[in-house]
Amino acid sequence: MCGIAGLWQADPTAEVMEKLKMALDRMCNRGPDDKDMFCTVSENQVLGLGHTRLSIIDLSAAGRQPMCSRDGRFSIVLNGEIYNYIELKKILRKKEYVFETETDTEVLLHAWREWGEACLLKLTGMFAFAVYDKLEKTITCARDAFGIKPFFYHSSKGCFAFASTASALMALLPQKPVLNFQKAYDYLVYGCYDNDADSFFSEVNHLLPGHLLQFNFQSKDETIELKRWWWPSIQETWQGSFHEAALYLRQLFLKNIKLHLRTDVPFGAALSGGVDSSAVVCAVRYLNPDISVRTFSYIARGSDIDEEKWVDLVNAYAGALAHKVFVSKENLIRDLDELIQAQDEPFGGTSIYAQYCVFRLAKENGVTVTLDGQGADELLAGYHGYPDARMLSMIEKGEWRKLFAFMNEWASWPGRSRKKVLLSFVSAVLPQRFRTRAMTFMGVSPTPEWLRNSVLKKRGVVFKIPFTQTAGETSRGRRLMHILRSSLTVSGLTPLLRHGDRNSMRFSIESRVPFLTTDVAEFLLSLPEEYLLSDKGQTKYIFREAMRGIVPDSILDRRDKIGFQTPENDWLIEMAPEVRKWLLHARNIDFIDYDNLLASFDAVIDGKIPFTWQVWRWVNFVRWHHYFFSA
């Protein structure tokens, strides 16, 4: 796990190495163990690659990057891990490749030389990397299927730059970027972020999950080609029974856990007490009866979202050594600015801070690699099961009796109701173009009074819900699978992975997510929808069955869904005086009406209007804007 950076400029006198050094310095937490740079200069251009390393596999200096092929044609910088590097190495050795290190980076370098971009489909891992081809005069950049590892880039006349973080990329740019006003609006009003290629900075883009980019600096127009390298089918192709599917999923998951345990440094696991993280911990114990297992948990003791009893149950069952962190509003006040800087871009709520504290706890206890249950909800129809999509599939298939039975069963679970299922039904049948009107009717205004909408309009901002569009084959009768694929690759999961990456890297920890592999995703998306969200309204139906005998039944049969939350509403009321101080910086943002913003905040505190996540977005954005644009 590392930080990578690269800069090409059509100016051989450009101070590329100085800029790269500054970029790497800004990512020192991502790679505290080693760093190096590579530079090549010709008559009319200069290219530099840089890497800062967190040593995980082969801790020797042999793992230093940028790493070059023996013939000097290819140079690579990699952020991430290729978990199946041992298996790939065996294949490449048969093709007479010689290895000089025990690193996964060298395996990837040879794999690229052998198969080119086709090697991406052979990888099990999380990665963002760039390969310089000296012969073809190209830089090819690739990001893993789910976007677990970040990749930012900028392209303009005479300049191409990339880095693992936006703040590092700033050091490489010809000029300081300005705010992306559309992205700011989408976030502040609708809470939408990390859902497309745009970042919060103008002219700074994300390389999307499952995509690769090739920059040809030999061509006169300095062309960039973007291509999707992974896009799973959602056609129902599974021919076996439910029981057979559960057994196969069990095998896939255990294989993933085994691969994700490959490390030369101490490891632990994040444990919330839910099905997903519990399955990770219990699977580690199932595969390794004698291994030392350490867990790290956030505990909201004394609140109605406290899951400590479930955490204790799993730790006792797995014989794990528990480490717990308790977070207070005072902790948040102390750490908020550091959290905002670590995240690099605005984020959604205080649960991200709880995760931040879990990684800090792991760091304090000498752990360098953690396993996490992230991604299971998007793979397995978790949360409340995406009932609107499931119902739409039934409607399209004419399964009316089944639909009404499902609505009744779904509504009977804790945290649900007949009102909620009816709203989901309306959402399922309501055309997308009417949803903006529906949200406005429910009190979500596209032009709130605390925004100076005339200022935003002059800057080209469009005042509408930023719906995410997805491509691919028709999803008629497969609406649940359609939305799960979108959640995995376009929106939904991407911000959660960003939070985890930045929080873990702040403490130089590699966070691994063993649910997220392409073979598991492709398998699950090929199943009948009722295997994931049952006709009885149970989420993660097949996975619960797959884990019988590995995870305690009391965990698998839980009917409550708490999730990773903090007592945000209570904290807000208690922190009101401090929040007002934070919001003072809104006076320096020309498109925010400070007086109306403060009046809206006070109305929430006084109970005149209900609490929403929008309040924390005000705080996050104002503090972030002050940090990045007021200096």
DSSP assignments along 21-84, one per residue: HHHHHTTTTT--SEEEEEEEE-SS-EEEEEEEE---SS-SGGG-SSEE-TTSSEEEEEEEEETT
State how far the Cα of 418 lies from the Cα of 409, in Å rounded to an integer: 10
State how far the Cα of 162 lies from the Cα of 20, in Å rounded to an integer: 10
| 256 and 149 together in one domain | no
Per-residue model confidence (pLDDT) at position 179: 96
Please count the other Cβ atoms lying within 10 Å of the Cβ belonging to residue 570: 12
Say if CB 582 and CB 542 are below 8 A apart.
no
Q: Is 394 domain-assigned? A: no
**Any residues with CB less than 8 A from the CB of 429 and at least 6 apart, and which?**
392, 395
Residue with token string 């480490």: 323
Residue with token string 């390393």: 53
**Boundary-marking domain end, from 200, 228, 256:** 228
State how far the Cα of 38 lies from the Cα of 265, in Å rounded to an integer: 27
Per-residue model confidence (pLDDT) at position 217: 86
Residue 463 three-state SS: coil
Q: Is 426 domain-assigned? A: no
Per-residue model confidence (pLDDT) at position 13: 81
Please count the other Cβ atoms lying within 10 Å of the Cβ belonging to residue 52: 28
Residue with token string 């955490």: 311
Phi, psi of 367 (to 5 degrees): -95, 140
Per-residue model confidence (pLDDT) at position 222: 78
Q: Is 411 domain-assigned? A: no
pLDDT, tens only, 143-188 = 999 999 999 999 999 999 999 999 999 999 988 889 999 999 999 9
Write the DSSP string, 255-281: HHHHHHT--SS-EEEE--SSHHHHHHH
Per-residue model confidence (pLDDT) at position 560: 75
Write the DSSP string, 221-234: T--EEEEE------
Strand partners, 213: 141, 226
Per-residue model confidence (pLDDT) at position 574: 84
Say if CB 153 and CB 8 are below 8 A apart.
no
CATH number at residue 142: 3.60.20.10
Q: Give the residue ranges of the chain where pLDDT is below 70.
A: 1, 304, 432-444, 467-474, 561-568, 631
**Any residues with CB less than 8 A from the CB of 385 and at least 6 apart, and which?**
410, 533, 537, 538, 539
Closest by CA position to 111, among listed 458, 103, 59: 103
| 221 and 102 together in one domain | yes
Per-residue model confidence (pLDDT) at position 573: 79
Q: Is 450 domain-assigned? A: no
| 177 and 304 together in one domain | no
Phi, psi of 440 (to 5 degrees): -65, -40
Per-residue model confidence (pLDDT) at position 565: 55
Instruction: Give the domain range for residue 65.
Output: 2-228
Say if CB 501 and CB 148 are below 8 A apart.
yes
Per-residue model confidence (pLDDT) at position 475: 81
Closest by CA position to 103, among listed 300, 343, 297, 263: 263
Say if CB 571 and CB 354 are below 8 A apart.
no
User: What token pair was written down for 201?
Assistant: 């900075």
**Boundary-marking domain end, from 167, 201, 228:** 228
| 14 and 137 together in one domain | yes
Q: Is 41 domain-assigned? A: yes
Amino acid at 114: E
| 547 and 574 together in one domain | no
| 145 and 292 together in one domain | no
**Boundary-marking domain end, from 532, 556, 580:** 556
Amino acid at 20: L
| 200 and 323 together in one domain | no
State how far the Cα of 320 lies from the Cα of 291, in Å rounded to an integer: 10
pLDDT, tens only, 504-559 = 999 999 999 999 999 999 999 999 999 999 999 999 999 999 999 999 999 999 88
| 513 and 583 together in one domain | no
Exposed e or buried b per residue across 365-396, where buried means at least 16 C-beta atoms within 10 angstroms of its C-beta? eebbbbbbbbbbbbbbbbebbbbbbbbbbbee
Residue 116 — left, alpha, or beta (φ > 0 → left; ψ -120 to 50 → alpha)?
A: left
Per-residue model confidence (pLDDT) at position 469: 57
Say if CB 426 and CB 463 are below 8 A apart.
no
Q: Is 475 domain-assigned? A: no
Per-residue model confidence (pLDDT) at position 192: 93
Residue 340 three-state SS: helix
Q: Is 357 domain-assigned? A: yes
| 80 and 146 together in one domain | yes
| 176 and 261 together in one domain | no
Closest by CA position to 517, among listed 143, 120, 85, 123: 123
Length of the chain: 631
Residue 153 three-state SS: strand
| 152 and 19 together in one domain | yes
Per-residue model confidence (pLDDT) at position 67: 97
Q: Is 469 domain-assigned? A: no
State how far the Cα of 575 lies from the Cα of 507, in Å rounded to an integer: 27
Exposed e or buried b per residue across 57-86, where buried means at least 16 C-beta atoms within 10 angstroms of its C-beta? beeeeebbbbbbbeeeebbbbbbbbbbbbe
State how far the Cα of 401 lies from the Cα of 304, in Å rounded to an integer: 37
| 343 and 221 together in one domain | no
State how far the Cα of 385 lies from the Cα of 613, in Å rounded to an integer: 21
User: What token pair was written down for 572?
Assistant: 């807000």
How many separate domains does the chain show?
A: 3
